[in-house]
């Protein structure tokens, strides 16, 4: 996965995406292993054009990286949960750095509303989830409170064409 730009560095201004760029993104979201040739044929451009566009999308930060979609249960991570956190004001960067190091942390978001942070985790079982929340997350000094929402079933959504 591509590295996240530093918080202090200003990202490049967004560039409007045309229909071909959007088509390339849809194809790669559905199959990150699609060949340049296949992508080019499906969006009706030359391979050189498709290659250049994909490189530009990566360089501009539109494409942050390529990854595999994992069935967490089959990978031994059968318990998933969203954990909401209330944190000390202005401690987001410090808390984020510590949450990134947690085993099974899959997604971290700073949000507005009744809580400050939303964290998605995957663990082997409920015992590991309990340990993660009670001994790792709640031990972070800037975490004021947590609430755990157990995921009963989940479905990744495919990109719409």
Per-residue pLDDT tens over the stretch 69-96:
888 888 999 999 999 999 999 999 999 9
Phi and psi at residue 86, in whole multiples of 5°? -100, 130
| Residue carrying structure tokens 């956190």 | 85
DSSP string covering 11-38: PPPP----HHHHHHHHHHHH-TT--HHH
Residue from 53, 65, 67 nearest 15 by CA: 53
Total residues found in the chain within this entry = 161
Percentage of the chain exceeding pLDDT 90: 75
pLDDT of 50 over the 70 cut: yes
Start-end of H helices in the chain: 19-30, 36-43, 47-59, 92-100, 126-131
**pTM for this entry:** 0.76
152 or 12: whose pLDDT is higher? 152
* Distance (Å) of CA 8 to CA 4, 5, 50, 105, 126: 11, 8, 32, 24, 38
pLDDT of 38 over the 80 cut: yes
Considering just the CA atoms, what is the radius of gyration of the chain in Å?
19
């Amino acid at each position: 996965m591509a590295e996240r730009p530093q918080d202090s560095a200003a990202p490049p201004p967004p560039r409007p995406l045309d229909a071909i760029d959007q088509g390339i993104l849809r194809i790669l979201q559905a199959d990150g292993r699609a060949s340049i040739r296949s992508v080019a044929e499906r969006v009706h451009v030359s391979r050189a054009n498709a290659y250049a566009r994909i490189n530009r999308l990566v360089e501009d930060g539109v494409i942050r990286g390529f990854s595999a979609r994992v069935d967490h249960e089959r990978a031994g991570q059968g318990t998933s949960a969203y954990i909401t956190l209330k944190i000390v004001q202005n401690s987001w960067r410090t808390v984020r750095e510590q949450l990134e190091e947690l085993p099974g942390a899959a997604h971290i978001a700073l949000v507005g509303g009744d809580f400050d942070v939303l964290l998605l985790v995957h663990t082997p079982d409920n015992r590991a989830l309990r340990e993660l929340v009670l001994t790792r997350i709640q031990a972070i000094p800037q975490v004021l409170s947590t609430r755990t929402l157990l995921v009963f079933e989940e479905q990744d959504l495919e990109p719409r064409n």
